[in-house]
Structure formats: C-alpha cells, structure tokens
Amino acid sequence: MALWMEEGSEPKTENEMADLVGISALKESFAIELKEKGNEYVKMGKKHYSDAIDCYTRAINQKALSESEQSVVFSNRAHVNLLLGNYRRALQDAQEAIKLCPTSVKALYRAAKASLSLNLLVEAKSYCEKGVEQSPDSNELLKLARQIDLRKSECEQREAQVSKAVAVAKGIVSAIEDRGLKFGKAMYQELTGLKIPILDKNNILHWPVLLLYAEVMSSDFIEDFCETDMFSTHLDMISSLRTFSLLFLGLNSQCTYMSMCT
C-alpha cells in the first residue's frame, strides 16, 4: 500500500498509484475544509483571529492545494495578521501569496498595506502599482496609493527639516570653533530655557547670556547677545529698565497709599 511507501519513492503498482491519488484527494479536501473554517473564524471577530490563523497554517502545511488555492490561503492569513497588527508576518504571507499568484490583487493590496505600516514606502508603492495594473478601478488600491504618496511626502519634508537642522548645527559648531570658544557645562537651564546660539545670515553669532549677581542673589538674562555687541550697551538697558521699574513701583505704592488715606 502507498501508506507504507518510503518517502521519495515512486509508486510501482496501480494500487499504489490509486492509493496516492486517494490520499492526495483527502489531504486536498481537508485543506479546503480548514481554509473555509478559517474564513468562518474571521467572520466571528477578533476573539477568533488566532483560530483562523491556526486553520490557515494547517491548510498550508497539508501541501495539497493548487498554487492558486495555496496563494489564497497565504493571502487570507496575511489579512488576519494585518488585523492583528502583525505587519511583518502579514508582509511575509502576502509575499508568499504573490510568488504563487503574481496577479492576486488581494495579495498585492495586503503586501502594500503591510509595507506601508512598516514604513517600507518603496515596497508599498511598488506593490500598490502592480495591484492597480491588475485592477485599475479598485477604490481600496487607489486610496492606499494616495496614503503612500502622502506618507512619502511627509517623510521627505521631515528629512529636509532634519538635514537643514543638522546643517545649521554644524555651521554653529564650526563658527564657535573658529572663534576659539569652548562649550561649558549645561547649567542654569531653568533660567535660560531652551535658548541656543544661532548664526545669522551675515555669519555673526548670537547667544543667550545669563548674568548672575551672587552678592544680591539676583540675575539678569539677555536672550539675544550678538558677538558684535558691547556688554555696556546691554547693562545700560538693564539699568534703565530697573530704574523704570522702581519708579513705577514707587508711583504705584504712592497711589495706593493715597487711596487708602482718602
């Protein structure tokens, strides 16, 4: 009987051939049954997604389906993995489905969707374009294509912003080094906030300056100190502001006192 044949050996009698045909038919029937059962589990909702994956996996392992049917099962398992957020597995399943049936629109769509979720934009666009070639009127594919283009545009904008920020930072560091300045420890950030040095279009450095008066436990903060400025200019301005503040406080106190007396 074919059941007792060694693996890899060829059937020698008609009975053995008939047995093999019968076994193959049974395995195929069982695999189809598992696929249908998996589909039912998907319809039953998220609680049964793991059961669906188990059924699809067992159907695949039967190795009894035609390539087109096997492609469908891989594609179905990719769909469930997408629903579960298992994007890497979903992509692998969709790719297997595409290998077996390169024109499978569902497999191409799911491969594109998984690739987008993994931020593999080149792959996502490629799968999506192939899907649109097979089904030009597919609203799902056309919508996904727009999402991919939007994500690509956003990534390009972010990359441009990062490149610009890096270039600016390198320019500032180079300007500081050229002037023989040194970086100190990051201190008093609660007083200066997140202010950082900047290099203007004329290649002039501006940086925040914190003035500490230890003897009176006080401080002043110059938000934009230009390297061409003189300290005296800023100190005069600070002094003027303090004089104005004291004058204002004095007048305010006097008005308050007069109001209380009347």
Other beta carbons within 10 Å of 154 = 10
Instruction: Say whether both 216 and 130 belong to one domain.
Output: no
In the sheet that holds 218-226, the strands lie side by side as: 198-199, 205-213, 218-226
Instruction: Say whether both 189 and 80 belong to one domain.
Output: no
Instruction: Say whether both 192 and 242 belong to one domain.
Output: yes
Structural domain of residue 239, as residue ranges? 182-261
For residues 139 and 123, is the Cβ–Cβ distance under 8 A? no
3-59 per-position pLDDT tens digit: 444 555 565 566 656 555 566 778 888 899 999 999 999 999 999 999 999 999 999
- Is 169 a member of any domain? no
Q: How many domains does the chain have?
A: 2
Other beta carbons within 10 Å of 31 = 23
Instruction: Say whether both 118 and 211 belong to one domain.
Output: no
For residue 248, the model assigns a pLDDT of: 45
* Among candidate residues 124, 159, 194, the one where a domain is terminated: 159
Instruction: Say whether both 142 and 186 belong to one domain.
Output: no
For residue 254, the model assigns a pLDDT of: 43
Instruction: Say whether both 18 and 76 belong to one domain.
Output: yes
Instruction: Say whether both 214 and 149 belong to one domain.
Output: no
In tens digits, what is the pLDDT along the chain, a chain of 262 residues?
444 445 555 655 666 565 555 667 788 888 999 999 999 999 999 999 999 999 999 999 999 999 999 999 999 999 999 999 999 999 999 999 999 999 999 999 999 999 999 999 999 999 999 999 999 999 999 999 999 999 999 999 999 999 998 998 898 888 888 888 776 677 766 666 777 888 888 888 988 888 888 777 788 888 888 888 887 887 777 777 666 454 444 444 444 434 444 4
- Is 84 a member of any domain? yes
Mark out the alpha helices in the chain (DSSP H runs). Answer: 14-43, 49-61, 67-84, 87-100, 105-117, 121-134, 139-178, 189-192, 231-261
Instruction: Say whether both 67 and 106 belong to one domain.
Output: yes
For residue 251, the model assigns a pLDDT of: 43
Instruction: Say whether both 236 and 144 belong to one domain.
Output: no
Instruction: Say whether both 28 and 120 belong to one domain.
Output: yes
* Among candidate residues 159, 174, 204, the one where a domain is terminated: 159
Instruction: Say whether both 92 and 214 belong to one domain.
Output: no
- Could you tell me which of 194, 243, 191, 196 has the C-alpha nearest to residue 218? 191
For residue 184, the model assigns a pLDDT of: 67
Domain CATH number, residue 90 = 1.25.40.10
- Render 69-94 in DSSP notation, one character per residue: HHHHHHHHHHHHHHHHT-HHHHHHHH
Q: The pTM is what?
A: 0.68
